[in-house]
Chain A
Amino acid sequence: MSVLYALQHIGYAIAPQADAGWIGEAGPGPSYLDQRSGGPDNDFTNRNTTFMTWNLLHMARMLVDAGGIPAHGNQRSEWDAGCRFDFDNPEYRYRRTCVGLYVVNFFARDGGIALMIWSNFHALATTMADEANYDESLVPDYVLPDALIGSDGCAVTTGGVWQAQRRPELLRLFEEHVYGGMPDPLPETHSELFDEDPNALRGQALRRQFSLRFGAGEQVSTMDLLLYLPHAIQQPVPVFLGLNFADRNLGC
């Protein structure tokens, strides 16, 4: 048993039932290979040896086919370089909810929106934040996280790691600290067109303004949405969404 312990401690993978032995009669007597020891005839020993041999072969085959133990969370070189492989406990942060993301989703689905200017956001943001600070001089010292160092301290060295790990982490940071998460369940949503000008921007675009309402009753939030649709578009186009903390500027 201590042999298997020692082997796993230094890095070996121990196969199932990876032990077999022959003890023999109690007291002094022949060893396994001595003539008439009875060892090679012992069914228990033979069975365990057979199972052990096959399990070792299976395990070795699996490991070789898999390219060894996956190289993540177990590299001494990475640990020494500062990588901590999610060792730190996750932080539990207060999650804000923000209807803004839902607005983008709602309109992007329909396509064809070239530009949306979103006003009244100041009032909405004030109702969302616990203690909003708008004074730059009161912002404490901070260090922005390195875009190419994961939260586990590991350097992002491949596009795959960026897509699978680092990019979602950054999106989560924006969700937690800037925009909030998607409300669940989604609030009841209404939009109402209250302004339209087919000759906006010197005739190049259609301007529309909507009043958006989220929720109902005492929980309702409202905001206005200004969007410009270029006349020249023939198909859905990307949306640029700007948050406007002041009055709408119809001449922009």
Chain B
Amino acid sequence: MSGPAIYEKVKAAHILVVDTSIWLGEKTSVCTQLLERLYSSSGDLNEHGQYAYYGKTGG
């Protein structure tokens, strides 16, 4: 998985839909890894000084 390349798409997108299989009653480890990678960039700030994911919606 090329993380930074996907992150560029996430930054450009207004909507992020995270899809996952249910495995052993939980989201998959790959999905967990995705969320952790998203979190690692959550300290970035936008031009207003807000966290970078502000103003986006997801589901």
Contacts and interface: CB of A to CB of B under 8 A. Distances in A.
A3 B31 contact: yes
Contact of B48 (A10, A23, A68): A68
Given A7-B16, A10-B38, A31 B21 contact: yes
B48 A6 contact: no
Contacts, number: 101
Contacts of B31: 3
Nearest to A32: B21
Given A68-B46, A68-B48, A6 B35 contact: yes
Task: Assign chain A's interface to a size class.
Answer: 20 to 34
Contacts of B51: 10-11, 74, 76
A245 to B, nearest CB: 49
Interface in A132-148: none
Interface stretch (A54-62, A181-189, A208-216, A223-231): A54-62
Contact of B56 (A23, A63, A71, A76): A63
Interface string A60-94: 10011001110100111110000000000000000
B16 A12 contact: yes
12 contacts: A6-B38, A10-B53, A11-B52, A14-B59, A18-B57, A21-B22, A23-B22, A56-B15, A64-B14, A67-B55, A68-B50, A76-B50
Interface of B: 14-18, 20-22, 26-27, 31, 35, 38-39, 42-43, 45-46, 48-59
